[in-house]
Structure 1
Amino acid sequence: MNKLQAMEVFIQVVDAGGFTRAAENMQLPKATVSTLVQALETSLSVKLLNRTTRHVSITSDGAAYYEHCVRILADVREAEESLSRTRLSPSGRLRVDAPTALASELIIPALPDFFARFPDIELELGCSDRPVDLIEEGVDCAIRGGELGDVNLIARRVGVLHFITCASPSYLAMYGTPQHPNDLKQHRGVNFFSAKTGRTYEWDFTRDGERIQVAMPAHLAVNDSNAYTAAGLAGLGLAQMTQFMLEPLIEQGKMVEVLGDWESDPLPIHVIYPPNRHLSAKVRVFVEWVADMFINHPATQQQGVRRPDQGTAP
């Protein structure tokens, strides 16, 4: 028995004053209406209606139950209408975490479009290259690059980051320009280390099926993308920077690409969120929005797959 349907039928019988008219109003067979009311009485072990061949009247228990049914069904309808409105215009606080560079260079410039679509959402955007604990820190969803350590989270791949090896003009004037990845042993670089594990990431290069990994000599390692960019601009060493961060600097003459005929592995970008059975409307619309933004952005379009044993880079 569908309890809510049986309650609705019971209300209709009381309001209509009989089974026949209630059946007509609900466009149900009279036998179905009668069966549902009987099943309701059986489940409650209470007689709700007095029946004669010509008349139906409500019992005292039935009158009390009728009032409860009216309130319960009204609450159900209100909840459904509220969810429907929320789906159309989600509202409330939304906590999102994203890497610093992605947040400042890609997400924040695109937020006017997000707020134009969803003006009732209050976004709290945490910007850090430190991987946060979504559950412990109350984060609704996060954007991450590289390896995903927590298998209990739902992950949706939305794009990739492409890397270019580069250096400042001042560095190249002092140390020269490498022509091959093997030349990097005579150079110095700016390294990036994981804020979670402390591990420094190796540099990788691929060309015509040949693959080279380099443990780059360096005087400096950082764990923040903005600091990494600043170090490269200061001439502290060669750097492997994301395409979207580097291209404006190349156009301004502040950085120069090197080893341009070698490619570095792209880094996948994921939107992750806890495995809630019912994803809230505000989280759902943000995930869809940011996925659409990354998939269609020229700097993050998916053009390759990074191996799962490699981690997050700047």
Structure 2
Amino acid sequence: MDQLLAMRAFSRVVEAGSFTRAAESLDMPNATISKLVQDLEAHLGVKLLQRTTRKVTVTPEGQDYYAKATRVLRDLQDIDSSFSVARGKPRGNLRIDIGGLSARAVLIPLLPDFMARYPDIRIDLGVADRAVDLIGDNVDCVIRGGQLDNSSLVARSIGEAVMVTCATPAYLKQYGVPAYPDELKNGHRLVGYISTQTGRAVPLRFEHKGERTEIKIEYRIGINESNAHLAACVAGLGIVQTFAHAVNGALQDGSLVEILKKWRPSPYPFHVVYPQNRYVTHRLRVFIDWLLECFPARVRGIG
């Protein structure tokens, strides 16, 4: 038995919650993962996992072994990484997840610089406006905006985005330019951004001299993807509230017009997030450091 490989396979099953997802993340056949875990249990003389047709449950002995095994695996990664650091050439694969608008308007335009600095790092970029399971999906880090509520994750602040409310000149000519947020409730058409987590439209938020107000959206069209949400605004379907970094060009060329500028909401925080119990490889560390250097100014958008 390759004990080190068996430890890795067992740890991934615990983290992923299933043999199938563990096999996918390790790029190994399901049967191989199952055999490795069985051999490990036979070697240790204890049951590490309880298997049913529906789920995998970690036994008390399995929890204890997982805690010890992950420390060993992290130490081995540390040894490997120290040689990579000494050579000054971080290498390998990075799996990153980010929302649609921020991928298009911020990260992708910056990536040529990162790829030039670190030519031996390959990036798999997942782009979607949805919550991702970092452990189960074997993702190294995610870049997300908004408040974070998962204490099992490590989050590093990488900047704040200016939020703007805007529409096309043609729309404003037809429906008028609102002077106060409450006017949006009377005859205006709002394009709803549908949260993939709640399935509901995200309300519009406004703030002026300490006064905060929130407008619940009654929409004729709701969209759950940020690039399409913005495209609906550009097409004249109504008013949206979005990131300034995504609409700078449209505001500058006049195809969109910012409204309620005095009522801009508080800046929207962005973080890079990664699992607490996963060793930070050299390639992930340099990526995070690069984000801290480059991302804040780009995500800030207009002042």
TM-score, length-scaled by structure 2: 0.69
Separation of aligned partners in 2, 1:85 and 1:204: 47
Separation of aligned partners in 2, 1:203 and 1:235: 18
Separation of aligned partners in 2, 1:230 and 1:298: 19
Separation of aligned partners in 1, 2:267 and 2:242: 11
Q: Match of 2:263, SS? A: coil
Q: Does 1:137 align with 2:137?
A: yes
Alignment of 1:1-314 (within 5 A): 83-86=82-85, 88-186=88-186, 187-276=188-277, 278-297=279-298, 299=300
Instruction: Quote the offset at 1:277 in angstroms.
Output: 5.5
Instruction: Quote the offset at 1:94 in angstroms.
Output: 0.8
Give the 3 Å change call, closer, same or farther, for CA 98–82 of structure 1 in structure 2.
Answer: closer
Give the 3 Å change call, closer, same or farther, for CA 277–224 of structure 1 in structure 2.
Answer: closer
Conservation of the 8 A alpha-carbon contact between 1:160 and 1:300: no
Instruction: Quote the offset at 1:165 in angstroms.
Output: 1.0
Separation of aligned partners in 1, 2:81 and 2:136: 29
Bigger radius of gyration among the two: 1
Percent identity, aligned pairs only, is 40
Match for residue 31 of structure 2?
A: none
Instruction: Quote the offset at 1:197 in angstroms.
Output: 1.7
Give the 3 Å change call, closer, same or farther, for CA 300–276 of structure 1 in structure 2.
Answer: farther
CA-based RMSD:
2.1
TM-score, length-scaled by structure 1: 0.67
Structure 1 gap segments, 5+ residues each: 1-75, 304-314
Amino acid at match of 1:84: F
Conservation of the 8 A alpha-carbon contact between 2:134 and 2:275: yes
Amino acid at match of 1:118: Y
Conservation of the 8 A alpha-carbon contact between 2:153 and 2:275: yes
Separation of aligned partners in 2, 1:271 and 1:81: 24
Q: Deviations over 1:158-202 (max 9, x none)?
A: 111111111111211211111111111111211112112213211
Conservation of the 8 A alpha-carbon contact between 1:294 and 1:300: no
Give the 3 Å change call, closer, same or farther, for CA 264–191 of structure 1 in structure 2.
Answer: same
Structure 2 gap segments, 5+ residues each: 1-74
Separation of aligned partners in 1, 2:301 and 2:279: 29
Q: How many residues align?
A: 225
